[in-house]
Amino acid sequence: MKEKKENGKLKLFILIFRIISLIIIAICVYILYLWHLDNSQNKSIQENLENKYIKVTINHEQNSDEFSPIYTESVDENGLSLEQFQVDFDALIEQNSDTVAWVRVPDTNISYPIVQSSDNSFYLNKNFDKQKNGAGWIFADYRNNFEKLDKNTIIYGHNRRNGTMFSNLRYYLDEEFCADINHKFINFNTKNSAYLAEIFSVYKISSNNVDLPNNFTTITQLEDKLNEWKSNSIYDFQTDVTTSDNLLSLYTCDNNTTYRILIHAKLIPLD
């Protein structure tokens, strides 16, 4: 009798264990489904924006009969291939009034309109269409001024394991990737100006040690920060950067909550 009772308890325990295991598996599958759905939605949005607003061409002549709000021109000089493009910000702003810029990083899948809200939280879990999305979107620091650029413009993006958003910034942790002269420049456009951003520093740093001012109170403070960023860099880009330059900083995590990947560049006006 006692043995039957113990067997009954064991069977009940096994049954409860199996039910709990099935529930956990179902929750994990659902979380993976949501993760995949968020990534798919953002990829679709990105592709739609690129197809709608970007036309890559090496032809200097534009076809007046074909709508081309973004114009790309390739310029080859000493093995360097640069891209310049124009963005129809009026159309983008109609779609999302928070649009302030566009960033493109050569030989990566990073090509996004940049948005800005009144804080640095909104676009952590909202996409370009302002829909809830765990992948978020590429967004500018709320402190930055895009009518007249601050000394340092700061752009954030998630590092997604599927290779989207700012995840491709990890390429810059490879010295061979950095050594390619075509990877030294980033395209950055605002509604007022077009820029090439020439990289001078790339590094990984503890999240506790990140200090990204958008402006500096003294020249000495700026000089110290430039020296710090250059000394942190894993690669010497041999970029001449001075206190008179305006800067661009790209920021993402390193697939964890402990480290951050940062890229610093100086902005070269193309207008």
For the residues 262-269, what does the mean pLDDT come to?
96
Tens of pLDDT along 175-217? 999 999 989 999 999 999 989 999 999 999 998 889 999 999 9
- CATH 2.40.260.10 assigned to domain 53-269? The reply is yes
The yes-or-no verdict on residue 144 having pLDDT over 80 is yes
The pTM (predicted TM-score) of the whole model is: 0.81
**pLDDT band of 80, cuts 50, 70, 90:** low
pLDDT at 8: 64
The yes-or-no verdict on residue 170 having pLDDT over 90 is yes
From 179, 202, 183, 210, select the one nearest 248 (Cα to Cα): 202
Q: For a pLDDT cut of 90, what percent of the chain falls above it?
A: 58
Residues 6+ apart with CB under 8 A from 194: 84, 85, 86, 187, 188, 269, 270, 271
The yes-or-no verdict on residue 86 having pLDDT over 80 is no
Token pair belonging to 198: 């020439």
Cβ atoms of 169 and 105 closer than 8 Å: yes
Domain residue spans in the chain? 53-269
pLDDT at 3: 60
pLDDT at 81: 63
More confident residue, 255 or 89: 89
Tens of pLDDT along 39-76? 667 777 877 787 776 654 433 344 444 434 444 444 45
Alpha-carbon dihedral angle through residues 141, 267, 100, 111, given to the nearest 10 degrees: -100
The yes-or-no verdict on residue 21 having pLDDT over 90 is no
For the residues 9-37, what does the mean pLDDT come to?
67
Average model confidence (pLDDT) across the chain: 83
Tens of pLDDT along 4-14? 566 666 666 67
